[in-house]
Amino acid sequence: MNYAVSVTDTTKTNEIEKSGLQLLAFLDTYKSALHEITTVEEPPRGIVFHDLESATKLYSTIPLPAYTSRDLIHLTPLLDTWKDIYLSTVKDVKEAADYYENLEMVDVAELVAHEFTHHADFFHSEFDDWEEENANDMWFEEGICFYLPRKLLMSEERFEKVMKVERLLIDAHKEKYGEYTLDAFGEAGYRGGDDFSYSAAFYDYWRSTNTVAELIEGYCEGNVRELIRLYREWVEGGEKGRLQDYFINRFGLSDEVARGLWLR
């Protein structure tokens, strides 16, 4: 994939390019594995590797230095930057602090793979238009876009560890950010208001990824293709009603289980 480097601190140029090349190697591995599940006929045109200031102040005002804009992935590849970002969310959760203190490049690679996955062909509309038109289904796409990179890039042990950490962080932050249905994705953070903290931004990503993982592992026998098939069934049926209600009916979920997954 073509790449460029944009920095506000030129002393970091070489480090950013070196780290970016590591991520591109991870992405090549990911693309090969993803091809066994789905196709990406129109991938992003390239990736711009940034320092934090360039990503969040010069190119965007989004607080997270990982996003896609105009068919370009924008991301900081610096491990220490992401370590600081994640550590700001841990509150008093020791497991989270331990995990993020020992962050690895695969944890950054999942972010570039996440952005790449948004371009997968099974999603029901163009990525550039999707967020505004289909915000009530955002939880599904964002959850899948984290689940697949983790499953395809991480060891099973690391996958289980990060999923546990995020479940603990959901519990740690839910009193502050509230318990609302996932079709209001982003309500806690900058998408829904003026809270630009990293924990507020991550809160619904954590929740969505956890829900997608539970659907796949608890109701699709661990087969992500089955959940994607049901999603496409909903799309091809005219997207009638909420996607979560479609899953509730197809899996025969009780109100209690449904509430635990989506807080319907």
Running along the chain, 264 residues long, what does each successive block of 10 average in pLDDT? Answer: 97 98 98 96 96 97 93 97 98 97 98 97 67 70 97 98 98 94 90 87 97 97 97 91 94 94 78
Residue 58 lies in a domain: yes
| Same domain, residue pair 242 and 264 | yes
Residue 195: per-residue pLDDT: 83
Place of tokens 């062909």: 121
142 and 217 co-located in one domain: yes
Both 191 and 240 in a single domain?
yes
Task: Tell me the CA end-to-end span of the chain in Å, nearest whole number.
Answer: 40
**Both 141 and 261 in a single domain?**
yes
Q: How far is CA 55 from CA 18, 72, 195, in A?
A: 17, 12, 18
Residue 70: the pLDDT is: 82
Say what the pLDDT of residue 143 is: 97
Asked if 55 and 14 sit in the same domain, the reply is yes
CATH classification of the domain holding 235 = 1.10.390
In a domain, 129, yes or no: no
- Distance, in Å, from the CA atom of 116 to the CA atom of 27, rounded to the nearest integer, reads 9
Q: Is 39 domain-assigned?
A: yes
- In a domain, residue 141? The reply is yes
Yes or no: say if 92 and 173 are a contact pair by the CB < 8 Å rule: no
Q: Are 113 and 138 contained in the same domain?
A: no
Give a yes or no: residue 70 inside a domain: yes
196 and 102 within one domain? no
- Which of 122, 156, 184 is the endpoint of a domain? 122
* Tally of structural domains, the chain: 2
Residues 91 and 192 reside in one and the same domain: no
pLDDT at 194: 80
User: Is residue 127 one of the residues assigned to a domain?
Assistant: no
Residues 148 and 257 in one domain: yes
34 and 160: one domain? no
pLDDT at 264: 52
- pLDDT at 165 (0 to 100): 98
For residues 53 and 139, state if they share a domain: no
As a whole number of angstroms, the distance between CA 49 and CA 65 comes to 10
Of 94, 122, 150, which residue sits at a domain end?
Answer: 122
Of the candidates 177, 20, 178, the residue with the CA atom closest to the CA atom of residue 28: 20
Provide the residue range defining the domain that includes 188: 134-264
Q: Check residue 10 and give its pLDDT.
A: 97
pTM: 0.94
Residues 256 and 145 placed together within one structural domain of the fold: yes
Nearest Cα neighbor of 144 from 214, 240, 76 is 214
254 within some domain: yes
Is residue 128 situated within a structural domain?
no
Whole-angstrom distance, CA of residue 237 vs CA of residue 231: 10
pLDDT recorded at residue 130: 44
